């Protein structure tokens, strides 16, 4: 949903990120129409759970249709927590380390999946352990390893961070950035703020075609916690320092636009192919091959088409059909594989099910 008004924007921001909204007065959703608009806006930006949680805590009556949905959302929280417990048990049973990555650190959101980092040599062991715990393979390729289980939420398995055939973060750096975290009362290993900021930045640039309000607010908050100069040094050493500078400038412009009250951007905000190609060319070793550049261009078009389908409401209808949803996912994953995105090393014949 792209439609919104400023009251809806500030109602959501004030609820989920009060420190960001501290200079702004008003924007409280306290009328039925405003509540509906604000909930719809939060939903389109990944903020449904934290926003409705805040409404419930504040005693604001939510619309009847949301009262029916809310118990299902609470059940999804239970499934999320179960996934974390299964991961912890699998780690203890196999003796293999892991970390939950790509999290939203500063907002108590409820993710659609759990992304974990495992060592390349442990990946087969992890897949077997999760299979024994009840997870079934959802999709597997060089770019994607996803598992799902009833009464839990999807788990995506990473052992490296590569976009466009390039390593954006060294696995050794990530493994040196592990620390204990706690999410929705569940303890698990995670990453430092610095590592999460770098990982989420490169993922939001090349892993998505747009920036949600949730991602924006989290990145702005994380930026205050990290040494930006060190982040730039790390990105430069990995060949994407100029890309990170472009990204930081983009975040700065968006923040100024909002702080100056010139009207908030219409989140989710599409990056646009011009900006994305600027980032591609800013890499230390930009792609030159015709096939690779064609795959990159097609993936950008695919992301735009996906965003447009969400705007029109077609995306929701497509997700309700398992067959259509699978075809769409396979096509998107195939494009990312062709352009060089990797969550793991190229799979062996056995990994592919042979």
Q: What is the Cα–Cα distance from 7 to 121, expressed in whole angstroms?
A: 50
Confidence at residue 2, expressed as pLDDT on a 0 to 100 scale: 43
How deeply is 173 buried, as exposed, middle or buried, from its count of CB atoms within 10 A (0-12, 13-18, 19+)?
Answer: middle
**Which residues fall within 8 angstroms of residue 194, CB to CB, at 6 or more apart?**
177, 226, 227, 230, 231
Phi, psi angle pair for 217, to nearest 5°: -60, -40
- Residues 201, 244 contacting (CB under 8 angstroms): yes
* Count of other CB atoms within 10 angstroms of residue 204: 20
Class of domain 63-339 as given by CATH: alpha beta
Encoding tokens for residue 101? 């990555």
Phi, psi angle pair for 246, to nearest 5°: -60, -40
- Residues 214, 274 contacting (CB under 8 angstroms): no
Confidence at residue 300, expressed as pLDDT on a 0 to 100 scale: 86
Confidence at residue 140, expressed as pLDDT on a 0 to 100 scale: 77
Residues carrying CATH 3.30.460.40, the chain: 63-339
* DSSP per-residue codes, 206-229: HT-SEE-HHHHHHHHHHHTTS-HH
Written as tens digits, the pLDDT of the chain (354 aa) is 444 578 899 999 999 998 888 755 445 555 556 899 999 999 999 999 999 999 999 999 899 889 889 999 999 999 999 999 999 999 999 999 999 999 999 999 999 999 999 999 999 999 999 999 999 998 776 656 899 999 999 999 999 888 998 999 998 999 999 999 999 999 999 999 999 999 999 999 998 888 999 999 999 999 999 999 999 999 999 999 999 999 999 999 999 999 886 778 999 999 999 999 999 999 999 999 888 899 888 888 887 777 665 565 554 544 455 554 555 555 555 666 656 666 665 444 344 433
Q: Where are the beta strands (DSSP E) in the chain?
A: 99-101, 113-117, 136-140, 145-148, 154-158, 161-163, 166-169, 178-183, 186-191, 210-211, 269-270
Query: Maximum Cα–Cα distance for the chain, whole Å?
Result: 60
Residue with tokens 């999804």: 76
């Amino acid at each position: 949903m792209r439609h919104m008004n400023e009251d809806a924007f500030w109602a959501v921001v004030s609820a989920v990120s009060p420190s960001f909204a501290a200079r702004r007065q008003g924007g409280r959703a306290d009328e039925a129409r405003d509540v509906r608009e604000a909930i719809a806006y939060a939903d389109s930006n990944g903020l449904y759970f934290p926003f409705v949680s805040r409404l419930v805590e504040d005693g604001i009556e939510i619309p009847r249709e949301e009262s029916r949905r809310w118990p299902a959302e609470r059940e999804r929280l239970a499934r999320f927590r179960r996934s974390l417990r299964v991961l912890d048990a699998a780690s203890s049973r196999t003796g293999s380390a892991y970390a939950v990555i790509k999290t939203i650190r500063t907002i108590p959101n409820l993710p659609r999946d759990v992304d974990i980092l495992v060592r390349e040599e442990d990946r087969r062991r992890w897949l077997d352990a999760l299979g024994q715990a009840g997870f079934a393979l959802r999709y597997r390729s060089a770019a994607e390893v996803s598992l799902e289980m009833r009464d839990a939420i999807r788990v995506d398995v990473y052992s490296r961070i590569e976009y466009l055939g390039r390593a954006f973060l060294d696995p050794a750096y990530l493994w040196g950035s592990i620390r204990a975290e706690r999410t929705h009362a569940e303890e698990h290993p995670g990453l430092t703020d610095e590592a999460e900021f770098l990982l989420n930045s490169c993922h939001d640039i090349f892993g998505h075609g747009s920036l949600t309000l949730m991602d924006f607010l989290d990145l702005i908050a994380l930026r205050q916690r990290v040494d930006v100069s060190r982040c730039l040094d790390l990105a430069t050493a990995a060949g994407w320092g100029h890309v990170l500078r472009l990204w930081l400038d983009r975040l700065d412009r968006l923040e100024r636009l909002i702080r100056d009250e010139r009207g908030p951007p219409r989140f989710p905000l599409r990056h646009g192919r011009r900006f994305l190609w600027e980032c591609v060319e800013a890499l230390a070793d930009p792609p030159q091959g015709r096939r690779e550049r064609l795959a990159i261009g097609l993936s950008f078009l695919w992301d735009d088409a996906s965003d447009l389908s969400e705007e029109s409401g077609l995306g929701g209808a497509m997700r309700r059909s398992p067959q259509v949803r699978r075809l769409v996912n396979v096509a998107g994953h195939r494009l990312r594989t062709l352009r060089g995105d990797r969550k793991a090393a190229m799979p062996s014949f056995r990994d592919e099910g042979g």
